[in-house]
Structure 1
Amino acid sequence: MTTRRNLLAAAAGTLTFNAFRGDMNAALGAQLDNNPAANVADKTTTLKIIRITPTAVKRKVFIKVETNHGVTGWGEIDQLETTVATALVKSLFELLDGENPTRIEHLWQKIYRSHRDMRGGPFMTHTLAGIDMALWDITGKLWGVPVHRLLGGPTRDKVRMYPSAKATKVGAGPQPFSGTPAQIEGIVKNIENARKQVGADGVVMFDAHCALPPPFLLQLAAAVKAYDLLYIEEPAVPGNIEVFKRLKKHINIPLAVGEQARTIWEVIPYLQEGVADILQIDCAHTGGISQMRKIAILGEAYHVPLAPHCVTTDLGATASLHVSAAIPFFLIHEYYPSITPPGLVKKNWSLDKDGYASLPEGPGIGCEIDEKVLEELAKQPLPPEWPTRGRLPDGSIADY
């Protein structure tokens, strides 16, 4: 039976419950306000990307990323047709305009996954590599530390480089499907000469350039002592893992793969199938510092070290050195000082007489770009990136 007393009691209970629910909602709201997962956007800074300027120099494109607080970052695009790379940078700025440059992984994913039909591939990942370098450069400068400190700190005191007095590489251009004694012996002689040059305590690497068909490479590998070569680089054209498995089955020399592997997803088959003894990932090809570090972690799980491929200027080489300095499984790093135009890049590391590089110093990547030199170099003609040496004697097209 409903009475006046019952109605008053029910009303009091409702008021008490509503007050309790209000307190709980307020407490929950406060927790959500302080929950980083619910506040992805960085509300503590006004730092934003305001401009990206690509500048083509010979076969490279230099990227300058500017922010509204005057902090800038530099990156390098390598091994692309520069007209296309420059246009792609300008187009991708639409995805970066107004973003916080320190959200490096988020921006990497935003670009990489932006277009379902452009995901992966050399044009996307090489261009993304240059942008990624610039973002790490900015972030390091903001924190006032070298990039390798942001990657967990150095795992070594110096980085072994080649070519040097004790490390050299020989290679060969396009060859027929199966070789003659003269062809095989000619390459073997080059390897022997390189061995004499570095001595028994040095290392010799052989670059097959994807230009030696499997039958030819099998013949060559059988004619060389397994310990005379540190590894065979690019033993086959990427695309069919079964070819690599066949070579690995019959060749006792370590195989270095991955120069053209442009993300963690393209590296996985080499590791799972056991055909990669060394990963020769290129920081400027695989999506930059962010992706190179992830690939190093994958390699570590399989006890496969990195021997980074590198044909960039000192800017891209220094970005790669930061990763090499911070990973545990590392073998040797490629570097050619002559690639850098004189006066363009000022780096803050050096090579010693034994071929070891000191660790990069200074905030960010640690390279300074002379923009006046860059402007003058940009006025020179830009040769297209179309090698013409991939021909066989009969005029047919060969791999290279």
Structure 2
Amino acid sequence: MKIERIDIIVTCPGRNFVTVKVVTSDGVHGLGDATLNGRELAVHAYLQEHVVPCLIGRDPRNIEDIWQYLYRGAYWRRGPVTMTAIAAIDMALWDIKGKLADMPVYQLLGGKSRDGLMVYGHANGRDHAEAVDAVLKHQEEGYKAIRVQSGVPGLEKTYGVGKTQGYYEPAEKGLPPEEPWDTALYLRHTPELFRKVREAVGPDAHLLHDAHHRLTPIEAAQLGKSLEPYRLFWIEDATPAENQESFRLIRQHTTTPLAVGEVFNAIWDCNQLIREQLVDYIRATIVHAGGITHVRRIADYAAMYQVRTGFHGATDLSPVCMAAAVNFGLWVPNFGIQELMPHSPLTDAVFPHNYRFEQGYLVMDEVPGLGVEIDETLAAQYPYERAYLPVARLRDGSMWNW
């Protein structure tokens, strides 16, 4: 069996997705997600010009060798474009192997560790009242864990809060929008938000919050300490993690659990964070961290230090990556939680899949491979449209972390 061809499909059913389709000489195909939000065509070019020509004629069953070939053989290692491209090929090869074995990928990894993945949804509001209402609505829908974000009085826009009702979609068509930021306003506002939410939902709901890399370490420590009375499941991305040691300062001041890593590309990005137990959940996602093959190494390493998974799962991951995440999460022993932002009905139509939400959990049936396909005819009706994530500036005009 050989790799006969590799197609790269770019489609925009409301937002941009890049999908790899690896086809074998036996006619079996596998899918992988190659979406890098706001840089989709960079990954497309890397795949088309530098990866695909090197893989034609290789045995698709040799997943480990192909992974090492793409990672070590390129010399220029890591980075979001390279690791997203590797991840897409890796997912597709696991999909093929599952179809050849007539088993779900989670069975190839070692079988189920659980029946379903507890997920958290996104409850957003322009103010406290709207945010509380959104949390209660998520509870009615069956969510046991809910991320809460609210507009900040005095700021025109706030991360996590969309312009209209419904799920928050940060990418916008055209050039990057610019948004104002004021940390002092945010730190005064957020504890009161969670006081009201906890009062409304009671003690049992798992509440999460995303600081989105906006804080310095001591500001993150202040936030974590102020939120301790409301018993958060975690604070996500409290401070930029390039300096992994900075999380030590946060740990010294708060017992609020910490999660980080959706922008990580490799195990080296989280080495110190895991080894020194500076975080409680690692959020590296399959599509941006080298695929199932590499994320499995991250999860095994994290398990040694009682760090659990909490994978990114926003709408910038296609249903192909979400299917891979469900397979992975059903197996991984140190699973913590899975983010879930449901895709639009149109996206679900382009990517029919087996995984589904049931009473706070993602579940899937015993289907071969990843359990996801792509309707190429429908996908072709929605061509690529340039879109970017916003950028943030402080009130004095200087750039800040978005």
* TM-score of the pair, normalised by structure 2: 0.81
Tell me the SS of whatever aligns to 1:137. Answer: helix
Deviation at 1:341, TM superposition (A): 1.4
CA contact (8 A) 2:245 2:273 kept: no
Which residue matches 2:155? none
2:135 matched residue in structure 1 = none
**1:90 correspondence with 2:41:** no
Q: Supply the RMSD in Å over aligned alpha carbons.
A: 1.9
| Contact 1:175–1:212 under 8 Å retained in 2 | no
How many aligned positions are there?
Answer: 346
CA contact (8 A) 1:315 1:345 kept: yes
Instruction: Please give the secondary structure, in 1, of the residue aligned with 2:250.
Output: helix
Greater shift, 147-156 or 244-253, is seen at 244-253
Partner of 1:337: 342
1-structure distance, mates of 2:16, 2:110: 33
Q: Does 2:70 match 1:111?
A: yes
Distance 1:226 1:268 in 2: 30
Number of the residue aligned with 1:54: 8
Give the share of equivalent positions with the same residue, in percent: 32
Structure 2: which 5+ runs fail to align? Answer: 122-137, 150-157, 160-179
Name the SS for the 1:50 alignment partner: strand
1:153-178 Cα distance to aligned partner (Å, 9 max, x none): 001111111115221112464754x6
Q: Determine the structure 2 residue equivalent to 1:395.
A: 397
Alignment-derived partner of residue 246 in structure 2: 243
Question: Is residue 144–residue 364 contact of structure 1 (8 Å, CA) maintained in 2?
Answer: yes
Q: Which amino acid aligns with 2:297?
A: K
Seen in structure 2, the aligned counterparts of structure 1 residues 72 and 193 have a Cα distance that, compared at 3 Å, is farther
> What is the alpha-carbon distance in structure 1 between the residues aligned to residue 218 and residue 250 of structure 2?
9
Helix, strand or coil for the counterpart of 2:32? strand
Cα shift at 1:274: 2.1
Q: CA deviation at 1:362?
A: 0.8
* Preserved contact between residue 7 and residue 22 of structure 2 (Cα < 8 Å): yes
Q: Which amino acid in structure 1 is aligned with residue 357 of structure 2?
A: L
| 1:123-177 deviations in Å (ceiling 9; x for gaps) | 111111111111100110001000000000001111111115221112464754x
Of the two structures, which has the highest relative contact order with CA contacts closer than 8 Å and spacing of 6 or more? 2
Equivalent residue, structure 2, for 1:294:
297
Output one character per residue of 1:362-382: Cα deviation in whole Å (capped at 9) or x when no partner: 1000112111111112x2x42
Once the two structures are superposed, the pairs formed by residues 10-159 of structure 1 within 5 Å of their partners are: 47-57=1-11, 58-80=15-37, 81-91=39-49, 92-116=51-75, 118-159=76-117
Q: Radius of gyration: which is bigger?
A: 1
> 2:236·2:260 contact (CA, 8 Å) conserved in 1?
yes
Whether 1:351 aligns to 2:357 is yes
Letter in 2 for 1:153: G
Contact preservation (8 Å) 2:284, 2:295: yes
Aligned to 1:35: none
User: After superposition, where does 1:304-323 map in structure 2 within 5 Å?
Assistant: 304-311=307-314, 312-323=317-328
Q: 1:351 touches 1:358 (CA, 8 Å); kept in 2?
A: yes
> 1:62: how far off?
0.9
Q: Equivalents in 1 of 2:198, 2:374: separation in Å?
A: 38
1:70-94 deviation line (CA, Å, top 9, x unaligned): 1011111232411211111112012
Query: Which deviates further from its counterpart, 84-93 or 336-345?
Result: 336-345
Q: Give runs of ≥4 in structure 1 deviating > 6 Å.
A: none
Instruction: State the TM-score, normalizing by the size of structure 1.
Output: 0.82
Where structure 1 has 5 or more consecutive residues not aligned to the other structure, the ranges are 1-46
Whole-angstrom distance in 2 between the partners of 1:276 and 1:257: 7
Q: Does the 8 Å CA contact 2:86/2:290 hold for their aligned counterparts?
A: yes
Aligned partners of 1:139 and 1:278: how far apart in 2? 29
What is the Cα deviation at residue 290 of structure 1? 1.1
